[in-house]
Every structure is written in structure tokens, then in C-alpha cells.
Structure 1
Amino acid sequence: MNKREIHGNAALIVIDVQKGFDEAEHWGPRDNPEAEANIAALIDAWQATGRPVVFVRHDSAKPGSPLRPGQEGNDLKDFVEERRGRGEGPELFVTKTVNSAFYGTPDLGEWFEAQGVRQFVVTGIQTNMCAETTARMGGNLGYEVLFALDATHTFDLRGPEGYRLTARELAYATAVNLQGGGFAEIVPTAELVEAAKG
């Protein structure tokens, strides 16, 4: 098996790891209780090796959303906020109101261009929403996208005609959509951390 190559300037995109996602009464059952520990491990590995890290925050415009600006739920979770500004490499903070981090402020694509980034890793919340959308768009734009499925989590979701999928089912669907559809490769956190060490 060939050793995975992580570019020296591969970016880590940490998507929407916000306190509002801890409000279980709003979101319902979630999957992957290991997500936060894996997200922290990825941030630490990227910062320790001087690679670029992008922190993304969702500023929801939906009434009643725990992620609305001005609410405590809009804040990044403490373990993420404490890591901001601690790396040796370049860092960017993006805010957005839609699913894709490429439609945020400042412009992620322009920043990647300036940094020479062509490969990035996606981690964060929610697996099948903003994380998947950012990965899909990255694939469409020609980036090499690695998706740390075990460093994401999501929630059960109801669709049309009362149809419901569990968070775990949605995470599997994201994995199939991304890798099966050619948008991104699903890679475990441990493999990414090891590869980042070189």
C-alpha cells in the first residue's frame, strides 16, 4: 500500500464547529461521539506542521436557529476557539450564510489561490450539509478533496412524506455520494494525522 501524500500546503477546513449544535432539543439525535476528538487531532496535526487551517462559522439567518449571530450558539466550540491563532502556518476565518464555505467572506477560493492550495481536508458539522456541500464544490472546482468522515457528525433528518433517515445513514450516504461520485476521497482521521507528520 502506498503511503498517502499530504501536500506541504494542504489546507484543513474546519466547518461550523459551533456551540449551537449542542442543542439536542433543536437538532435531535446525532451520530459519531468521537467527532470532536478527531477534529481536535486534525487541527493539532495541521498546526504542528505549519499547514494552512481555515476556520468557518455559519451565521444563520433563519429565525429560531441556534446558529444566529448574537446568540451564544453562534460561537465556535471552546476546543476550536482555543486553537485559533496557535499554528505556525497561514490561517483564515470565514463566515457564511449558506452551505458552501466557498460562498463565504472572505473569499476562500481567492485565499487558496494566493496560498497555492490544491488539496484540502474537510472536517466539521454537519456531515451531509455544509461539510458535504463544501467538499462537492471543491471537487467541482478541481481541488483534490479528502473528507474526514469520522471527524464530522450530523443529525437524524426527516424528508418528504415523513421519510426519515438516521444520522448514521446520512453519514454513509455522504460517504457514498462523495467518493462514489468522484467529488472527494473518504480518509480516516488517524491516516490523515499520520500522513501529515510526513
Structure 2
Amino acid sequence: MDFDDTAALIVIDVQQGFDDPAWGERDNPAAEANIGRLVSAWADAGRPIVLVRHDSVSPGSPLGVGSPGNALKDVVADAPHDLFVTKQVNSAFYGEPDLHAWLRDRGVRQLVITGIQTNMCVETTARMGGNLGYEVTLPLDATHTFDLEGPGGLRLTASELARATAVNLEGGGFARVVTTDEVLGA
């Protein structure tokens, strides 16, 4: 694994609202600490950092614009960054300002994607990044998600969903799935 000086760290939706108990059981209690380690390493190396915030328009959402839950968590709230993207859907590539144009204008070809939720906004952004031709790396232990119920009462734990995301992304050729330590050691 080798990252050039333009490799961008994309930090997705690390927001206070994800601490709301309404989300249910989560996995990976070390996610925020690992995100903090990556942000520090990227800042120290002078590589680009992009912070992304989900500005929900759903009534009552813990991530609603103007609500306390919309704010970034302390681990990234004061983080140095080169771009701040807001979005209302799962992919950071459909936010404002235009992430793809910003990356392209700077010659960025490598992305390290981290944040919340593993199987939602993180996975969607990683898939789109892969489709757009970026070399995407996802340190799975710098993400977390929540248990989720699907059709017919089928329920998957957060850990099962994270494993499925890893298989979807790497097995599908969208991203390389690694650990935070592997990224930091590169």
C-alpha cells in the first residue's frame, strides 16, 4: 500500500446525532479513535482532508439541520480540512460543493474513506469513488454502523453488516479494505 502526497482522506458524517440511542446497537467502539488517528496523520503529512456532514431534511432526524445532532463529533469538529461537503443523500459525491470536481481539479487519484455508517454513506461513497476511477482504500476499523432490520423481519447485526460491506467493496472491486494500522504504516 502506497499513498502519494495528494491522497485524500474523506471523513463522512462523524456527527453527534449518531450517539442517539434511537439508532440501536452499534459495532466498533474504537471507530472514532481510529478516525482521529487518521486525521492527525493526514494533517501531519499535509495531505488533503475532506469533512462531510449529512444535513438531513427528514422530520425529527437526529442529523437534522439546526439540531445539536447535526454537529460534528469532537474528534473531527476542529480538524484541519481542505474541503467541507454537505449532503442530503448517501453519497458524498452528491453533496455541495462538488467533491468529484474538487478532487479532479487537484489531481487526486487516491481516496481513504472513513466515517459513519459503514454500510450506508461510507459504502455508497466508496462504490461511487471506485466507479469514478479513484483508487479507494477503506480502513474498516475507522467506521461503524448499527443493527438493521430488512424485509420480512430479517435482521443483521452491525458486525454482520460491516463484514458484508467489506466483502461488497473488496470482492466487487470497488475498494481495498484494510485496517487503520495498515494505512498508517503505508
Q: Distance in 2 between matches of 1:44 and 1:148?
A: 15
CA contact (8 A) 2:91 2:121 kept: yes
Structure 2: which 5+ runs fail to align?
A: none
User: SS at the partner of 1:56?
Assistant: strand
Runs of 4+ in 1 over 4 A off after TM superposition: none
Q: Tell me the alpha carbon deviations over residues 175-198 of structure 1, each in whole angstroms, 9 at most, x when there is no partner.
A: 000000000000110111121xxx
Within the candidate set 4, 9, 13, 2:10 is matched to 13
User: SS at the partner of 2:53?
Assistant: strand
TM-score, normalising length from structure 1?
0.93
Identity %: 67
**Is 2:146 the partner of 1:149?**
no
User: SS at the partner of 1:124?
Assistant: strand
Indicate the residue corresponding to 1:88 in structure 2. Answer: none
User: SS at the partner of 2:85?
Assistant: strand
Q: Distance in 1 between matches of 2:36 and 2:19?
A: 17
Q: Distance in 1 between matches of 2:145 and 2:73?
A: 16
Letter in 2 for 1:19: Q
Indicate the residue corresponding to 2:105 in structure 1. Answer: 114
Q: Distance in 2 between matches of 1:124 and 1:16?
A: 6
TM-score, normalising length from structure 2?
0.98
Report deviation, 1:113. 1.0
**Is 2:185 the partner of 1:194?**
yes
Report deviation, 1:10. 0.2
Q: Distance in 2 between matches of 1:193 and 1:122?
A: 13
**Is 2:131 the partner of 1:135?**
no
Structure 1: which 5+ runs fail to align?
A: 86-90
Within the candidate set 75, 79, 99, 1:79 is matched to 75
Q: Distance in 2 between matches of 1:167 and 1:79?
A: 22
Letter in 2 for 1:179: E
Letter in 2 for 1:60: S
Within the candidate set 104, 119, 123, 2:114 is matched to 123
User: SS at the partner of 2:79?
Assistant: coil
Indicate the residue corresponding to 2:20 in structure 1. Answer: 23
Q: Distance in 1 between matches of 2:4 and 2:77?
A: 25
Number of matched pairs: 186
User: SS at the partner of 1:95?
Assistant: strand
CA RMSD across the alignment: 0.7
CA contact (8 A) 2:130 2:174 kept: yes
Letter in 2 for 1:79: V
Report deviation, 1:84. 3.1
Q: Distance in 2 between matches of 1:118 and 1:28?
A: 36
Within the candidate set 139, 158, 162, 2:149 is matched to 158
Q: Tell me the alpha carbon deviations over residues 41-73 of structure 1, each in whole angstroms, 9 at most, x when there is no partner.
A: 000000000000000000011111100001000
Q: Distance in 2 between matches of 1:7 and 1:150?
A: 22
